[in-house]
Each structure stands twice: as structure tokens, then as C-alpha cells.
Amino acid sequence: MTSEKIFVNGNFYTLDSAGTQVEALAVRNERITALGSIDDVRAAAGKGVQEIDLGGKTVIPGCSDTHCHLMTHGLSCTLMADLSDSDSIEEIQNRLRSHKEKNPDIKWIIGERFDQELFAEGRWMTREDLDKVSRDVPVFAVRLCRHAIVANTAALMPVRDKLTKEQWESGKLTEDDTDLVWSQVPECTEEELERAAVYGLNDARRVGLTSVHCQFNSVEHLKVIRRLHSEGKLPVRVRFQWPYELMDVLVNEGLKTGTGDDYLKVGSIKIFMDGSLGARTAAMCEDFSDDPGNRGDLLKSDEELSKMLVNIQRNEFQAAIHAIGDRAISTTLRAIEMAMPEGNQSNRLRHRIEHIAQVSPEIIADMVRLDVIASIQPQFVITDFWSEQRVGPERYRYMYPFKTMLEAGIKIGMGSDCPVERIDVMELVHRAVNREPKSLSERLTVDEALRGYTYGSAYAGFEENDKGSLELGKLADFLVLSDDPYKVDPSQLDNIKPLNAVIGGRMQ
């Protein structure tokens, strides 16, 4: 078969089951038509084919981020103040004021990605703190987990009658209560949404991703993505997650998981079972060690979730269930098992648990028995530096236990949860491999991390026959790197640069 182009002089790690390495590959119609030595690929490709010399650089299969919010990321970067890494309430105030000065016509002052654990004051900011930014213009700041916000008086006054005394005095809202403020924010225009989508998706390609499992929260979001797709403007392949509350929109169009083409596909239906560790709203079996009496918020019972899953399964969708605390995870697994006889025998729809932070030996055994996929975010291991304080040393042994899960036989896919974490391919690999000093037993090898980020993520999206390794007939999606991750000192993995994310044989 005549190829369109060949890539030569590369150090290709195919990540197939045999761990094959090759020097070159050929591409036609976005798929791999030949692999092997340079001479063999040239011979197989035919004469007059475009040849691209990779200069001896290392190449790995394209990475797929299994959990990201790129529309939200784009909106944050184009419309809101960046509060990440702020180490004091005063700095938060200054960044919000600066944002207002740069955007004098904005009706709301919104900041994203603060972490109160970094504050020199040793406390959450309050309504009164944000009143010092403005008493007239609504102001609120969103915690990096997006499960908690703090708002000023102007933002809370219209809903004061719906607030508890504590919420009014502190200005702090968590989980569904955050909608009391978010619902007041004017809707984005189509132009703003498109600018945000383009920003977020281009950012993904820039850092080395070729595919994303991306959450969209509204019909308007999906409309923008579909338009970009129809115009051939999607810079990465998109498999979208969709809220359970809007599932009927897809059902009425006759869609199900996997519907679409190589650039835009229906993914999973998203359900929340609890909150976050950072906001202390993750549903735990025991009290938080640093907040006695608080076990977080379990949002649904096993019976409630089971009924939702039966509805999902009848319509041939995969479920992606947010569960962070051990009580939420255990409840989720019971519900998955309860619903299995109704169209999901042996978990054929590949229901997956997102985040799956605090586990136990019993949870791991149930995950294996039910063949439930773990969608993990390795960057949390470092960012959630306070995790041991939340749960104590005994439970911390089973906090983000990636190695234990993998060795038990649990299938894992990897993602960033951007904008909760920075979208960065090699930072994610670095944190999976290096972790932090108290959990080194849960480090993954470079090979395990890369296979989780490639084949594992592809499997989590029913795409292992098209993605996840470089093999004949699969999509020609791969990442050219500045250095060889198998040969550098592991501590330097995050210094490796993505040089080119190639999609369907097309370079950036």
C-alpha cells in the first residue's frame, strides 16, 4: 500500500505488548501502514513519499487525558483571574483588584484556583475579605477543586434568604450550594465560548496531548464543539463526558457511548457521588482527622445511584462516577453491582470511577471483582500535600495507591482534571513515577506510567483498537519528546519537553 508520508530516524517506543522499538513508521489516511527499520519502511511505503526526519528524537504513542474540563480551563484563562499559588489572602485580594483594573467593564469579578492551605494567615478567606476588593461589584473566588467558593456581600445579597447563618457570615459555599452564586453570573456569549474552547483544546495539543476525555456542561458548550468539528478546527481528538441531568439530550438524538468519528465521539455520562478532599466534602467512612465530626457529603445512596445506572445502561452509555472518599467509592461499587443484571453484565459498558482517592483493601478487591476502571490523576499526589493531615497515617497508606491497584489487576487511565491541575503531559508522568516521600511504595515505573497514559486511557474510552500503542492499522497519533523518558534520571522527567504532538500523521 502506498503511503502518504513516512517518519524516519526516530526512537519509537511502540508500547505494544512486546515492547517493540522501531526506527520509522509510515502513514496513510491518518493510520499506520508500516513500522520497522528505516529501510524496511521506505521499501513498504513506495517511491515519491514525503519523508520527515525526526533527528533521533524519542517518540511515544499519543497520550489521552481521561479527565479534563477544557472549556472551563479556557474560560478561566480568558475571562477570570488566576489565583493559583497565591500564598496569602492579601495576594488574592491584589490579584482580584488587578483583574478588575485590566477589565474595567466586567460585571463580575471571578478568580479561579485558590488553595487555602497555602495561605500565610492559616485560614479560609471570608466574605469580609472579599468586600475589601469591592462592596458594589459581585466578587467570588473558586477553590482549585471547584467544590467550594467564597463570595462577597454583593454576590450573596440576592440569595441571602437561602443561606445558613454560617454561610452568610463566612461567605463560603460548597458543593451544590455554589450554584446559588454561579447561577447569577451572566451566560457567556457564543464568541466567548468558542474562544475558550479553542484556547483550552490548543493548550492540550501544545503540552503534548493527542486525545482528551473532556467534560462539557451544557448544550451551548456542545454546540460550539460541534461547530469547530464541522469546520475541521479541533486540534485534538475529543471524547466528551456529559452530565446525567442532560442525558436525554443525547438519547433524543439517538446517540450512545462511542457514537461519532475519530475526532469527536460521545463518551461517558458523568455522575457525582461526593465532593473533594480539599473542601472536606469527600464522603468518608470515618471522620476527617483534621475535622472531627465531619465525614463529608455522600450525595446519593446506592439505591439511588443504581437506578441512575440502569437508566444509563438501557441507553447504552458508559458511566463516569466521581467518587473520592472511601464511603463514596464503596457505595458506588455496590450500586454498579446492583445495576449489573440490567444490561451491564461483567461491566461490559466499562463504568469507571473518577479520582478514586481514599481506598481500602476491600475496595481494591471489589474493583478487581467487578472489573471497574480507575480514572486517576497522579498530579494530586503532590498538590494534595495535606492529605495525610486529612485522613491520618493509617488511612493515608491507601491514598492514591496506584501501584497497589495496578498490581491487583485494576485497569487505570490517567488524566489531569485540568483546570484543577495544570495540563502537562510530563509533569503528570513525573508525579506518577516520583510521588512524595511518604508514599514511595506506590510509585509507578516509567513504563507503567506511560502505558497507563496511552493504552490505559484508550481502553477507558473503548479506543484500544485505534489508540494507545503504535501498531499497524492504528491511528498515527504520537508525541515527539526532547529526551528519552526511559533513560533520563527519573527525577528529571518533568524537564522533558513535548516537541510535537502528531495527530493522524500531521505535525503541529
pLDDT band of residue 494 (cuts 50, 70, 90) is very high
Give me the mean pLDDT over the 48-52 stretch.
94
pLDDT band of residue 47 (cuts 50, 70, 90) is confident
pLDDT at 55: 98
Domain assignment present for residue 86? The answer is no
Q: Measured between alpha carbons, how far is 443 from 490 in angstroms, rounded to an integer?
A: 11
* Segment 245-297, tens digit of pLDDT: 999 999 999 999 999 999 999 999 999 999 999 999 999 999 999 999 999 99
- Using a pLDDT cut of 70, give the percent of the chain over it: 100
Domain check: are 365 and 475 in the same one? yes
Domain check: are 211 and 161 in the same one? no
pLDDT at 220: 96
Residue ranges making up the domain that contains 137 = 108-182
pLDDT band of residue 488 (cuts 50, 70, 90) is very high
Domain check: are 215 and 173 in the same one? no
Domain assignment present for residue 84? The answer is no
Give me the mean pLDDT over the 28-48 stretch.
95
Domain assignment present for residue 315? The answer is yes
Residue at a domain's end among 164, 182, 200: 182
The mean pLDDT value of the chain amounts to 96
3-state secondary structure of 369: helix
* Segment 403-439, tens digit of pLDDT: 999 999 999 999 999 999 999 999 999 999 999 999 9
Domain check: are 361 and 265 in the same one? yes
**Contact residues for 34 (Cβ-Cβ < 8 A; gap 6+):** 3, 6, 24, 25, 26, 40, 41, 44, 45, 472
Q: What is the CATH number of the domain that holds 143?
A: 3.10.310.70
Domain assignment present for residue 12? The answer is yes
Residue 2 has pLDDT above 70, yes or no: no
**Contact residues for 42 (Cβ-Cβ < 8 A; gap 6+):** 6, 8, 24, 49, 51
Domain check: are 300 and 396 in the same one? yes
State the alpha helices, DSSP H only, in 52-88: 70-79
Domain check: are 168 and 236 in the same one? no
Backbone angles phi, psi at 303, to 5 degrees: -65, -40
Domain check: are 276 and 337 in the same one? yes
pLDDT at 145: 86
Task: Using CA atoms of 388, 389, 391, 396 in order, give the dihedral in degrees to the nearest 10.
Answer: 10
DSSP class of 443 = P
Domain check: are 460 and 314 in the same one? yes
pLDDT at 281: 95
Domain check: are 240 and 355 in the same one? yes
Q: Measured between alpha carbons, how far is 318 from 332 in angstroms, rounded to an integer?
A: 14
pLDDT at 62: 98
Domain assignment present for residue 47? The answer is yes
Residue 1 has pLDDT above 60, yes or no: no
Burial of 483 (0-12, 13-18, 19+ CB in 10 A): middle
Domain check: are 346 and 256 in the same one? yes
Domain check: are 381 and 454 in the same one? yes
Domain check: are 27 and 119 in the same one? no
Domain assignment present for residue 446? The answer is yes
Q: What is the CATH number of the domain that holds 442?
A: 3.20.20.140
Residue at a domain's end among 142, 165, 182: 182
Q: What is the CATH number of the domain that holds 25?
A: 2.30.40.10
Is residue 473 within 8 Å of 269, Cβ to Cβ?
A: no
Domain assignment present for residue 389? The answer is yes
Q: Measured between alpha carbons, how far is 407 from 85 in angstroms, rounded to an integer?
A: 35
> How is residue 240 written as a grid cell?
466528551
pLDDT band of residue 202 (cuts 50, 70, 90) is very high
Domain assignment present for residue 241? The answer is yes
Statement: the pTM of the whole predicted model exceeds 0.95: no
* Segment 104-151, tens digit of pLDDT: 889 999 999 999 999 999 999 999 999 999 999 999 999 988 889 999
Q: What is the DSSP annotation of 178-226?
A: GHHHHTTSPPPPHHHHHHHHHHHHHHHHHTTEEEEEEE--SHHHHHHHH
3-state secondary structure of 102: helix
- How many structural domains does the chain have? 3
Residue at a domain's end among 151, 182, 213: 182
pLDDT at 46: 87
